[in-house]
Amino acid sequence: MKIASWNVNSLNVRLPHLTRWLQEFAPDVVALQETKLEDARFPDDALAALGYRSVFAGQKTYNGVAILARTPPQDILAAIPGFEDPQKRVLAATLGEPGSPQALRIVNLYVVNGEAVGSDKYAYKLRWLAAVRDWLQEELRAHPRLVVLGDFNIAPDDRDVHDPKRWREKVLCSTPEREALRALLALGLHDSFRLHHQDGGHYSWWDYRLAAFERGWGLRIDLALVSDALRAQCVAAGIDLAPRTWERPSDHTPVWLELAS
DNA sequence: ATGGTTGGAGCCCAA
């Protein structure tokens, strides 16, 4: 079973890319971020024609998350419980019969970007991450077989940064952000990519400016985490660079993991 | 060189 995450940066613009990628990569589950679509405009019919059920939580212009799956997502939650937030950044769903031993819980996160260290948006990012930590603790209690994936807007360590000196203590790489990510991992979650690859130089996002992709100036900020209970089942993980080479691409490319069935 | 591109809205904001 292949489970993937992709920040599409406007599903309206990227539906042709998503369609092509679903056909070529054939994932079983996909978490999308930055759909930038109100729910009424979500292309669920087009995705159903490709064999995917969709659930989504969107808004106009900004943010927006969705989960696509070959089986119907259930027990959908589209907000962090107890955290007041108009921004549509989280979506959780259960695949398989809820409560059954093989049910899989998927949590899709579009983590706050944070703009710059010390800004109001950065403070919101850290508050948001603290609320997510408390929520995921509850999700793990209820659903031991948990996958948490999305655009984390945090490079876990310097192996995940093309030029660590240039990025030192900058937003996406600062120590408080990395500590907030470590607090999520400390709940009993594992970065699937690092279960299978130890070297640096693998990235999931490249700035549109300065031809960053062509120069290899990337960061690995899109992650797929698996819970303790799924760790042994996670047999592979990776980053699919192909969509970033297509014409008019998203600035992010899909990341994925594979669970043995 | 502290550079500039993209998407969506609507005459700038967010990334």
| Mean of pLDDT values over A62-85 | 98
Q: How far is CA A227 from the centre of its chain?
A: 15
pTM of the entire predicted model = 0.98
- φ and ψ of A242, to 5 deg: -55, -50
* Structure token pair of residue A95: 């695949």
Tell me the CA end-to-end span of chain A in Å, nearest whole number: 7
- pLDDT value for A128: 98
Distance A44 CA to B13 C1' (A): 28
**Summary mean pLDDT of chain A:** 98
**A139 CA to B8 C1', in Å?**
34
A110 in active site: yes
Per-residue pLDDT tens over the stretch A124-169: 999 999 999 999 999 999 999 999 999 999 999 999 999 999 999 9
pLDDT-derived band at A191 (thresholds 50, 70, 90) equals very high
Residue A171's pLDDT band, with cuts at 50, 70 and 90, is very high
Closest nucleotide to A37 by C1' from CA: B8
Q: Treating both helix axes as pointing N-terminal to C-terminal, what angle do A175-185 and A120-142 enclose, rounded to 10 degrees?
A: 10
Q: Are A40 and A23 in contact (CB under 8 A)?
A: no
Phi and psi, residue A173, nearest 5°: -130, 0
**Is the Cβ–Cβ distance between A72 and A88 less than 8 Å?**
no
Of A28, A151, A160, A251, which one is the catalytic site residue? A151
Q: Which residue is nearest to nucleotide B8 (CA to C1')?
A: A61
**Do β-strands A104-110 and A146-151 pair in parallel, antiparallel, or remain unpaired?**
parallel
Is residue A64 within 8 A of residue A56, CB to CB? The reply is yes
CB atoms within 10 A of CB A71: 13
Q: Tell me the CA–C1' distance in angstroms for A123 and B15.
A: 17
pLDDT at A261: 86
- Neighbour count for residue A225 (Cβ, 10 Å): 27
Structure tokens at A237: 């993980």
Residues in chain A: 261
| Alpha-carbon gap, residue A83 to A80, rounded angstroms | 5
**pLDDT value at A259 more than 90:** yes
Which single residue has its CA nearest the C1' atom of nucleotide B9? Answer: A61
| Assigned token pair, A97 | 């019969």
Q: Is A28 a catalytic residue?
A: no
Q: Which fold does the domain A2-259 belong to in CATH? A: Deoxyribonuclease I; Chain A (3.60.10)
Q: Which residues pair with A156 in a beta bridge?
A: none
**Alpha carbon distance A136, A189 (integer Å):** 10
Residues 6+ away with beta carbon under 8 Å from A239: A193, A202, A203, A204, A220, A222, A253, A254, A255, A256
Q: Report pLDDT digits (tens) over A17-49.
A: 999 999 999 999 999 999 999 999 999 999 999
Q: Which residue is nearest to nucleotide B15 (CA to C1')?
A: A113
- The answer to whether A2 and A147 are in contact (CB under 8 A) is no
Nucleotide nearest to A60 (CA to C1'): B8
